[in-house]
Amino acid sequence: MQSVEHLQELFLKYLKNELFDQSPRELYEPVNYILQLGGKRLRPVLLLMGANLFSEEIDHALPAALAIEIFHNFSLVHDDIMDEAPLRRGQPTVHIKYGQNAGILSGDAMLILTYQYLNQLKNPTQLPTILQIFNQLAIEVCEGQQYDMNFETEESVEIAAYLKMIELKTSVLIAGGLKIGALIGGANEKDANDLYEFGRHIGIAFQLQDDILDTFGDPEKFGKKVGGDIAQNKKTFLLLKSLEQARDQDRVDLLEALSDAADPNQKIEQVTSIYRKLKVQEQASELMEDYLKKAFIYLDRVQVEDARKVYLRNLANQLMMREI
Protein backbone atom coordinates (compact mmCIF):
# COMPACT_ATOMS: atom_id res chain seq x y z
CA MET A 1 0.00 0.00 0.00
CA GLN A 2 1.30 3.40 -0.92
CA SER A 3 0.78 6.79 0.70
CA VAL A 4 -0.68 9.85 -0.98
CA GLU A 5 2.74 11.46 -1.06
CA HIS A 6 4.29 8.45 -2.71
CA LEU A 7 1.54 8.23 -5.31
CA GLN A 8 1.81 11.94 -6.06
CA GLU A 9 5.54 11.51 -6.57
CA LEU A 10 5.08 8.43 -8.75
CA PHE A 11 2.52 10.27 -10.87
CA LEU A 12 4.60 13.44 -11.24
CA LYS A 13 7.63 11.42 -12.34
CA TYR A 14 5.50 9.67 -14.97
CA LEU A 15 3.92 12.95 -16.12
CA LYS A 16 7.33 14.61 -16.50
CA ASN A 17 8.44 11.85 -18.85
CA GLU A 18 5.25 12.07 -20.90
CA LEU A 19 5.28 15.82 -21.66
CA PHE A 20 4.78 16.58 -25.31
CA ASP A 21 7.61 17.78 -27.53
CA GLN A 22 5.91 17.11 -30.87
CA SER A 23 5.17 19.66 -33.59
CA PRO A 24 3.39 21.97 -34.03
CA ARG A 25 4.73 23.62 -30.91
CA GLU A 26 1.75 26.04 -30.84
CA LEU A 27 -0.58 23.08 -30.25
CA TYR A 28 1.41 21.22 -27.60
CA GLU A 29 3.00 24.04 -25.60
CA PRO A 30 -0.32 25.07 -23.96
CA VAL A 31 -0.90 21.39 -23.08
CA ASN A 32 2.44 21.19 -21.25
CA TYR A 33 1.79 24.58 -19.65
CA ILE A 34 -1.53 23.65 -18.03
CA LEU A 35 -0.31 20.17 -17.06
CA GLN A 36 2.61 21.74 -15.21
CA LEU A 37 0.66 24.46 -13.41
CA GLY A 38 0.62 22.24 -10.36
CA GLY A 39 -2.30 21.22 -8.22
CA LYS A 40 -2.58 18.29 -5.86
CA ARG A 41 -3.10 15.69 -8.63
CA LEU A 42 -6.01 14.34 -6.59
CA ARG A 43 -7.86 12.69 -9.45
CA PRO A 44 -4.93 10.60 -10.72
CA VAL A 45 -3.89 9.80 -7.13
CA LEU A 46 -7.40 8.58 -6.38
CA LEU A 47 -7.34 6.42 -9.50
CA LEU A 48 -4.01 4.93 -8.40
CA MET A 49 -5.44 4.34 -4.92
CA GLY A 50 -8.38 2.56 -6.50
CA ALA A 51 -5.93 0.25 -8.25
CA ASN A 52 -3.76 -0.10 -5.15
CA LEU A 53 -6.70 -1.41 -3.11
CA PHE A 54 -6.59 -4.56 -5.24
CA SER A 55 -3.02 -4.79 -6.48
CA GLU A 56 0.53 -3.91 -5.57
CA GLU A 57 1.44 -3.46 -9.23
CA ILE A 58 0.12 -0.01 -9.86
CA ASP A 59 2.59 1.15 -12.50
CA HIS A 60 0.31 -0.04 -15.26
CA ALA A 61 -2.46 2.20 -13.92
CA LEU A 62 -0.30 5.26 -14.62
CA PRO A 63 -1.48 5.85 -18.23
CA ALA A 64 -5.13 5.84 -17.08
CA ALA A 65 -4.20 8.15 -14.19
CA LEU A 66 -2.63 10.55 -16.67
CA ALA A 67 -5.70 10.23 -18.90
CA ILE A 68 -7.90 11.41 -16.02
CA GLU A 69 -5.54 14.30 -15.25
CA ILE A 70 -5.39 15.39 -18.90
CA PHE A 71 -9.18 15.22 -19.15
CA HIS A 72 -9.56 17.31 -16.00
CA ASN A 73 -7.19 19.91 -17.41
CA PHE A 74 -8.97 19.87 -20.78
CA SER A 75 -12.20 20.76 -18.97
CA LEU A 76 -10.44 23.55 -17.05
CA VAL A 77 -9.04 25.06 -20.27
CA HIS A 78 -12.40 25.10 -22.05
CA ASP A 79 -14.38 26.14 -18.94
CA ASP A 80 -11.97 29.05 -18.39
CA ILE A 81 -12.74 30.30 -21.91
CA MET A 82 -16.49 29.97 -21.32
CA ASP A 83 -16.26 31.63 -17.89
CA GLU A 84 -13.78 34.28 -19.15
CA ALA A 85 -11.50 33.42 -16.23
CA PRO A 86 -8.15 35.26 -16.30
CA LEU A 87 -6.33 33.16 -13.68
CA ARG A 88 -5.91 29.49 -12.86
CA ARG A 89 -3.81 28.48 -9.87
CA GLY A 90 -2.55 32.05 -9.71
CA GLN A 91 -1.22 31.96 -13.27
CA PRO A 92 -2.71 33.23 -16.55
CA THR A 93 -5.26 30.83 -18.04
CA VAL A 94 -4.36 29.18 -21.36
CA HIS A 95 -6.59 31.45 -23.48
CA ILE A 96 -5.12 34.55 -21.82
CA LYS A 97 -1.54 33.39 -22.27
CA TYR A 98 -1.81 31.84 -25.75
CA GLY A 99 -5.03 33.25 -27.21
CA GLN A 100 -8.53 31.87 -27.49
CA ASN A 101 -7.92 29.74 -30.57
CA ALA A 102 -5.01 28.03 -28.85
CA GLY A 103 -7.27 27.40 -25.87
CA ILE A 104 -9.94 25.77 -28.01
CA LEU A 105 -7.61 23.69 -30.18
CA SER A 106 -5.18 22.62 -27.45
CA GLY A 107 -8.17 21.65 -25.33
CA ASP A 108 -9.44 19.50 -28.20
CA ALA A 109 -6.02 17.89 -28.52
CA MET A 110 -6.01 17.15 -24.78
CA LEU A 111 -9.35 15.37 -25.04
CA ILE A 112 -7.92 13.17 -27.80
CA LEU A 113 -4.71 12.58 -25.83
CA THR A 114 -6.90 11.39 -22.96
CA TYR A 115 -8.13 8.56 -25.17
CA GLN A 116 -4.59 7.78 -26.32
CA TYR A 117 -3.62 7.12 -22.70
CA LEU A 118 -6.78 5.14 -22.02
CA ASN A 119 -5.72 2.90 -24.92
CA GLN A 120 -2.57 1.83 -23.05
CA LEU A 121 -4.16 -0.75 -20.78
CA LYS A 122 -1.99 -3.68 -19.79
CA ASN A 123 -5.03 -5.87 -20.32
CA PRO A 124 -6.71 -4.62 -23.53
CA THR A 125 -9.74 -6.88 -23.06
CA GLN A 126 -10.78 -4.36 -20.39
CA LEU A 127 -10.89 -1.54 -22.94
CA PRO A 128 -14.58 -1.70 -23.94
CA THR A 129 -15.67 -1.57 -20.29
CA ILE A 130 -13.24 1.14 -19.27
CA LEU A 131 -13.98 3.20 -22.36
CA GLN A 132 -17.68 2.97 -21.59
CA ILE A 133 -17.15 4.19 -18.01
CA PHE A 134 -14.94 7.00 -19.20
CA ASN A 135 -17.23 8.12 -22.05
CA GLN A 136 -20.14 8.30 -19.64
CA LEU A 137 -18.33 10.42 -17.08
CA ALA A 138 -16.90 12.65 -19.82
CA ILE A 139 -20.28 13.45 -21.35
CA GLU A 140 -21.69 13.96 -17.84
CA VAL A 141 -18.99 16.53 -17.09
CA CYS A 142 -20.10 18.44 -20.22
CA GLU A 143 -23.74 18.16 -19.12
CA GLY A 144 -22.77 19.47 -15.67
CA GLN A 145 -20.99 22.46 -17.17
CA GLN A 146 -24.04 23.19 -19.35
CA TYR A 147 -26.42 23.02 -16.34
CA ASP A 148 -24.07 25.30 -14.40
CA MET A 149 -24.14 27.84 -17.24
CA ASN A 150 -27.93 27.50 -17.51
CA PHE A 151 -28.37 28.18 -13.79
CA GLU A 152 -26.64 31.55 -14.12
CA THR A 153 -29.59 32.91 -16.08
CA GLU A 154 -32.43 30.88 -14.55
CA GLU A 155 -34.55 32.63 -11.98
CA SER A 156 -35.17 29.66 -9.75
CA VAL A 157 -33.23 26.45 -9.48
CA GLU A 158 -34.48 23.44 -7.55
CA ILE A 159 -32.18 22.00 -4.88
CA ALA A 160 -32.42 18.60 -6.60
CA ALA A 161 -31.26 20.12 -9.89
CA TYR A 162 -28.38 21.83 -8.10
CA LEU A 163 -27.27 18.57 -6.47
CA LYS A 164 -27.44 16.85 -9.85
CA MET A 165 -25.32 19.61 -11.40
CA ILE A 166 -22.54 19.34 -8.82
CA GLU A 167 -22.64 15.57 -9.12
CA LEU A 168 -22.12 15.79 -12.89
CA LYS A 169 -19.64 18.63 -12.87
CA THR A 170 -17.47 17.44 -9.99
CA SER A 171 -18.23 13.99 -8.63
CA VAL A 172 -18.46 11.65 -11.59
CA LEU A 173 -14.84 12.30 -12.59
CA ILE A 174 -13.62 11.33 -9.12
CA ALA A 175 -16.03 8.39 -8.98
CA GLY A 176 -15.28 7.13 -12.50
CA GLY A 177 -11.53 7.49 -11.95
CA LEU A 178 -11.72 5.38 -8.79
CA LYS A 179 -13.78 2.77 -10.63
CA ILE A 180 -11.37 2.61 -13.57
CA GLY A 181 -8.44 2.32 -11.18
CA ALA A 182 -10.17 -0.48 -9.29
CA LEU A 183 -10.86 -2.43 -12.49
CA ILE A 184 -7.26 -2.04 -13.64
CA GLY A 185 -6.22 -3.33 -10.22
CA GLY A 186 -8.38 -6.38 -10.77
CA ALA A 187 -11.53 -5.51 -8.80
CA ASN A 188 -14.78 -7.32 -9.53
CA GLU A 189 -17.74 -5.31 -10.78
CA LYS A 190 -19.45 -5.04 -7.41
CA ASP A 191 -16.38 -3.67 -5.64
CA ALA A 192 -15.70 -1.30 -8.53
CA ASN A 193 -19.28 -0.01 -8.33
CA ASP A 194 -19.07 0.46 -4.56
CA LEU A 195 -15.92 2.52 -5.06
CA TYR A 196 -17.72 4.56 -7.72
CA GLU A 197 -20.48 5.32 -5.19
CA PHE A 198 -17.88 6.18 -2.55
CA GLY A 199 -16.33 8.69 -4.94
CA ARG A 200 -19.66 10.08 -6.06
CA HIS A 201 -20.81 10.74 -2.49
CA ILE A 202 -17.45 12.17 -1.40
CA GLY A 203 -17.50 14.50 -4.39
CA ILE A 204 -20.94 15.88 -3.59
CA ALA A 205 -20.06 16.23 0.12
CA PHE A 206 -16.89 18.08 -0.82
CA GLN A 207 -18.75 20.51 -3.07
CA LEU A 208 -21.46 21.17 -0.45
CA GLN A 209 -18.72 21.91 2.05
CA ASP A 210 -17.12 24.22 -0.50
CA ASP A 211 -20.36 26.21 -0.57
CA ILE A 212 -20.37 26.43 3.23
CA LEU A 213 -16.69 27.40 3.50
CA ASP A 214 -17.03 30.13 0.90
CA THR A 215 -19.36 32.00 3.27
CA PHE A 216 -18.55 30.63 6.72
CA GLY A 217 -15.00 29.30 6.41
CA ASP A 218 -11.91 30.54 8.17
CA PRO A 219 -10.26 32.62 5.42
CA GLU A 220 -6.78 31.79 6.76
CA LYS A 221 -7.36 28.08 6.57
CA PHE A 222 -9.60 28.13 3.48
CA GLY A 223 -7.06 30.21 1.57
CA LYS A 224 -9.53 32.47 -0.19
CA LYS A 225 -11.63 35.49 0.55
CA VAL A 226 -14.90 34.74 2.29
CA GLY A 227 -18.14 35.77 0.58
CA GLY A 228 -17.04 35.48 -3.05
CA ASP A 229 -20.08 33.38 -3.95
CA ILE A 230 -22.44 35.94 -2.41
CA ALA A 231 -20.69 38.84 -4.12
CA GLN A 232 -21.21 37.10 -7.48
CA ASN A 233 -24.82 36.01 -6.76
CA LYS A 234 -23.63 32.46 -7.35
CA LYS A 235 -26.43 29.95 -6.97
CA THR A 236 -24.98 27.83 -4.18
CA PHE A 237 -26.82 25.43 -1.90
CA LEU A 238 -26.99 28.17 0.74
CA LEU A 239 -28.59 30.70 -1.58
CA LEU A 240 -31.01 28.25 -3.20
CA LYS A 241 -32.10 26.93 0.21
CA SER A 242 -32.59 30.49 1.44
CA LEU A 243 -34.64 31.43 -1.60
CA GLU A 244 -36.73 28.33 -0.95
CA GLN A 245 -37.32 29.08 2.72
CA ALA A 246 -37.26 32.85 3.18
CA ARG A 247 -40.72 34.24 3.90
CA ASP A 248 -42.19 37.73 4.33
CA GLN A 249 -39.66 40.37 5.41
CA ASP A 250 -36.72 37.91 5.16
CA ARG A 251 -37.58 37.34 1.52
CA VAL A 252 -37.83 41.04 0.80
CA ASP A 253 -34.48 41.64 2.55
CA LEU A 254 -32.80 38.76 0.73
CA LEU A 255 -33.95 39.86 -2.73
CA GLU A 256 -32.98 43.43 -1.95
CA ALA A 257 -29.52 42.39 -0.76
CA LEU A 258 -29.04 40.26 -3.88
CA SER A 259 -29.87 43.16 -6.16
CA ASP A 260 -27.40 45.40 -4.30
CA ALA A 261 -24.50 45.91 -6.65
CA ALA A 262 -23.12 48.96 -4.86
CA ASP A 263 -21.21 47.64 -1.86
CA PRO A 264 -20.09 44.00 -1.96
CA ASN A 265 -19.03 43.97 1.70
CA GLN A 266 -22.41 45.17 2.86
CA LYS A 267 -24.10 42.68 0.55
CA ILE A 268 -22.03 39.81 1.97
CA GLU A 269 -22.91 40.91 5.49
CA GLN A 270 -26.65 41.21 4.77
CA VAL A 271 -26.96 37.89 2.95
CA THR A 272 -24.84 36.08 5.54
CA SER A 273 -27.10 37.38 8.28
CA ILE A 274 -30.15 35.99 6.49
CA TYR A 275 -28.32 32.68 6.01
CA ARG A 276 -27.74 32.60 9.77
CA LYS A 277 -31.32 33.42 10.57
CA LEU A 278 -32.63 30.68 8.26
CA LYS A 279 -29.98 28.24 9.50
CA VAL A 280 -29.07 27.19 5.97
CA GLN A 281 -25.48 26.46 7.02
CA GLU A 282 -26.77 23.82 9.43
CA GLN A 283 -28.98 22.33 6.72
CA ALA A 284 -26.07 22.21 4.29
CA SER A 285 -23.83 20.61 6.93
CA GLU A 286 -26.46 18.02 7.71
CA LEU A 287 -26.80 17.08 4.06
CA MET A 288 -23.03 17.08 3.64
CA GLU A 289 -22.62 14.77 6.65
CA ASP A 290 -25.27 12.52 5.20
CA TYR A 291 -23.37 12.18 1.89
CA LEU A 292 -20.13 11.64 3.80
CA LYS A 293 -21.64 8.90 5.95
CA LYS A 294 -23.01 7.15 2.89
CA ALA A 295 -19.64 7.49 1.16
CA PHE A 296 -17.91 5.60 3.95
CA ILE A 297 -20.62 2.93 4.03
CA TYR A 298 -19.82 2.26 0.35
CA LEU A 299 -16.10 2.14 1.14
CA ASP A 300 -16.79 -0.31 4.00
CA ARG A 301 -18.58 -2.60 1.57
CA VAL A 302 -15.56 -3.00 -0.69
CA GLN A 303 -14.31 -6.54 -0.15
CA VAL A 304 -10.67 -5.98 0.70
CA GLU A 305 -9.14 -6.08 4.17
CA ASP A 306 -9.61 -2.91 6.13
CA ALA A 307 -5.89 -2.20 6.38
CA ARG A 308 -5.78 -1.66 2.61
CA LYS A 309 -8.34 1.11 2.88
CA VAL A 310 -6.43 3.24 5.37
CA TYR A 311 -4.78 5.60 2.91
CA LEU A 312 -7.95 6.13 0.91
CA ARG A 313 -10.01 6.76 4.05
CA ASN A 314 -7.37 9.17 5.35
CA LEU A 315 -7.22 11.00 2.04
CA ALA A 316 -11.00 11.46 2.03
CA ASN A 317 -10.85 12.81 5.58
CA GLN A 318 -7.94 15.12 4.75
CA LEU A 319 -9.87 16.40 1.77
CA MET A 320 -12.89 17.19 3.88
CA MET A 321 -10.67 18.88 6.49
CA ARG A 322 -9.01 20.84 3.65
CA GLU A 323 -5.69 19.50 4.91
CA ILE A 324 -4.63 18.56 1.40
Q: Which is nearer to a second copy, 143 or 250 (CB)?
A: 143
CB of 120 to a second copy, least distance (A): 9
Q: How far is CA 119 from the centre of its chain?
A: 24
CB of 204 to a second copy, least distance (A): 19
Residues in region 62-91 near a second copy by CB under 8 A? 78, 81-82
> What is the rounded CA–CA span in Å between residue 256 and residue 271?
10
The interface mask with a second copy, positions 138-177, x = CB under 8 A, is xx--xx-xxx-xx---------------------------
Judged by CB under 8 A, which stretch of 58-66, 109-117, 213-221, 313-321 contacts a second copy? 109-117
Residue 221: name the closest of 229, 209, 232, 231 by CA.
209
CB of 303 to a second copy, least distance (A): 27
Q: Which long-range contacts (CB under 8 A, 24 or more apart) does 279-285 make?
A: 280/237, 280/238, 280/241, 280/242, 280/245, 281/212, 281/215, 281/216, 281/238, 283/241, 284/208, 284/211, 284/212, 284/237, 284/238, 284/241, 285/212
Q: Which is nearer to a second copy, 144 or 185 (CB)?
A: 144
CB of 128 to a second copy, least distance (A): 4
Our finding on whether 30 is near a second copy (CB under 8 A) is no
> What is the rounded CA–CA span in Å between residue 67 and residue 127?
13
Sole binder of a second copy in the list 17, 21, 128, 249 (CB under 8 A): 128
Residues in region 3-22 near a second copy by CB under 8 A? 22
Peptide bond into 63 cis (omega under 30): no
Our finding on whether 96 is near a second copy (CB under 8 A) is no
Three-state DSSP class for residue 139: helix
Judged by CB under 8 A, which stretch of 38-46, 131-139, 178-186, 221-229 contacts a second copy? 131-139
The 3 state secondary structure assigned to 251-297 is HHHHHHHHCCCCCHHHHHHHHHHHHHHHCHHHHHHHHHHHHHHHHHH
> What is the rounded CA–CA span in Å between residue 13 and residue 58?
14
CB of 117 to a second copy, least distance (A): 10
Residues that bind a second copy (CB under 8 A): 22-24, 26-27, 78, 81-82, 101, 104-105, 107-109, 111-113, 115-116, 119, 121, 124-125, 127-128, 131-132, 135, 138-139, 142-143, 145-147, 149-150
